Amino acid sequence: MLFDVSCITREKLMETLRIYDMIQFIDFSRRMAKGNKNFIEVREIAHTGNFPVIAFFLTDFSVSTSDKQNVLFTAMHSGIEYSGANTLFRLIEILLDESDSSLNFLRKYQIVIAPVVNPYSYEIGGLENQYRTEFSCDPYSDPWSVDGIADPSLNVEAAAIQALIDEFRPELFIDCHGVFFKGQHMIENTGVSVHGMSRPHNEIFVNKINDASKEMGYHSEYLELRQKSLPVIPELAGRKYQTCSQKINACVYAYHNYHTLAMVMEIGFVESGLARLIRALELGLIKWDGEIMAGFPVNRVFGEGLEGLHPCSSVRDKRRLERVTLWNNMHNYSYAVLYPQIPGRETYALLHSKPTVPAYETVPEDSYLVYNPGIAPKLPDCPFSISFKIPFLNASIKKITVNGKNIPVNLWEWSKYDGFSLVFVKFPDGIDKETFVTVTYNFNTGASTD
């Protein structure tokens, strides 16, 4: 005898992980909003016609936003990937628990959380609704290009997330995905999603946040340990090279436009997801190798070999604006490097035409400038810094010249890591003419004595 299952919903066939239905989620939102107005605002960022899309803005509102870093957490597939949403519900509660660590996060960050990006799929459920909204396609990847959402009036959910990315230009963006059913399991990871690779530009960051899971006894998969793991151009994507996503998603959009440290996270266990998200917040408070100040490692926006281009300001909102400006004009920068590169001296020039070596640069014999022109050559038109990686840990600076003139010590800083002495030369007023920067230094190849 056949059973007629047409009247049995999917949830009755298999119980889901959903802890709130939409009404309960709206109640949760109201409860959180009432909790402590010093630390949270709750806003409807879009409405589908039947459902609100709700975002939580968490920060210490008594502290100026000008010196905060911006963080965005979403669950673009919640939708029915309930473990992603559940993790973010719990994170909101933790950030409001008034513990020392949560209060510190709220002082240092503006954190925006959208736990239910696709309320239609979230409420109606069913695998057939995983990759669609009420009126359109999968908000995670279908409507995105690097220029933004294809049809914002139809894709209101994704357009609302794009508006958050455009407003906050976050330093960190993690999109939380996961599982649907009670008892379901999956391979957890950060930076590898169903569509393939969706990892950030700094893989060390991913490895460090995955450590938080592993310290608790959870597993974590690295992209490098998958058999098919070579990231390639889309033309080669296939079973030999399947790790390169063929779709642009919100993370790619944020990276492309704002040099955001953006990644997808697969969450099989809420506890593991929470540990990774909280570790990610902790990692934005330390100084990373290659950076001059504490913060997410997003500031080397352009670099080749020993030299890199960075923001200059130390105040976060100015630094963000400089990062985005430099990043979005990098294709136009024209620069030259003195070759061959030899110990004791580095010369880097920002130019708008093919250079000749100025007379004030007394260069070693047989040296020449290698010129890399931009598409429409221009000079950086905002404050910036140039970093020089001197490949000796124990180097000491003799002098730094800009267009042949020594610069004062307050216009450069340095740090050391991994065998490098990293020198930052600052241009707080930008530049309005071609600029040659030369660092001369003492070095020896022995171990550091400091």
Binding footprint of Zn ion on the chain (CB under 5 A): 77, 81, 177
Q: Least distance (Å) from Zn ion to the CB of residue 26?
A: 23
Q: Which is nearer to Zn ion, 32 or 263 (CB)?
A: 263
Q: Least distance (Å) from Zn ion to the CB of residue 140?
A: 6
- Residue 396 has, within 13 A of its CA and on its CB side, a CA count of 5
Q: Least distance (Å) from Zn ion to the CB of residue 92?
A: 20
**Cα separation values, 149 from 55, 93, 230, Å:** 19, 31, 29
CA torsion through residues 437, 443, 446, 449, sign: negative
- The torsion angles phi and psi of 348, rounded to 5 degrees, stand at -135, 140
Cβ atoms 108, 148 nearer than 8 A? no
Distance (Å, whole) CA 437 – CA 174: 38
Q: Which is nearer to Zn ion, 177 or 276 (CB)?
A: 177
Q: Which is nearer to Zn ion, 250 or 382 (CB)?
A: 250
Q: Least distance (Å) from Zn ion to the CB of residue 277?
A: 16
Q: Which is nearer to Zn ion, 83 or 387 (CB)?
A: 83
Distance (Å, whole) CA 65 – CA 367: 48
Q: Which is nearer to Zn ion, 137 or 402 (CB)?
A: 137
Q: Least distance (Å) from Zn ion to the CB of residue 20?
A: 19
Q: Which is nearer to Zn ion, 131 or 388 (CB)?
A: 131
Least Cα distance to 197 among 241, 240, 133 occurs for 241
Collect all residues with Cβ–Cβ distance below 8 Å to 405 and sequence separation of at least 6: none
Distance (Å, whole) CA 165 – CA 148: 10
Q: Least distance (Å) from Zn ion to the CB of residue 394?
A: 48
Q: Least distance (Å) from Zn ion to the CB of residue 298?
A: 24
Q: Which is nearer to Zn ion, 84 or 383 (CB)?
A: 84
Pairing between strand 396-402 and 435-442? antiparallel
3-state SS assignment for residue 271 = helix
Q: Least distance (Å) from Zn ion to the CB of residue 118?
A: 11
Least Cα distance to 268 among 177, 337, 334 occurs for 177
Q: Which is nearer to Zn ion, 60 or 81 (CB)?
A: 81
Q: Which residue has the tokens 């996060």?
A: 105
Least Cα distance to 62 among 98, 41, 38, 42 occurs for 38
Q: Which is nearer to Zn ion, 18 or 320 (CB)?
A: 18
Cβ atoms 377, 353 nearer than 8 A? yes
Q: Least distance (Å) from Zn ion to the CB of residue 77?
A: 3
Least Cα distance to 325 among 109, 169, 167, 149 occurs for 169
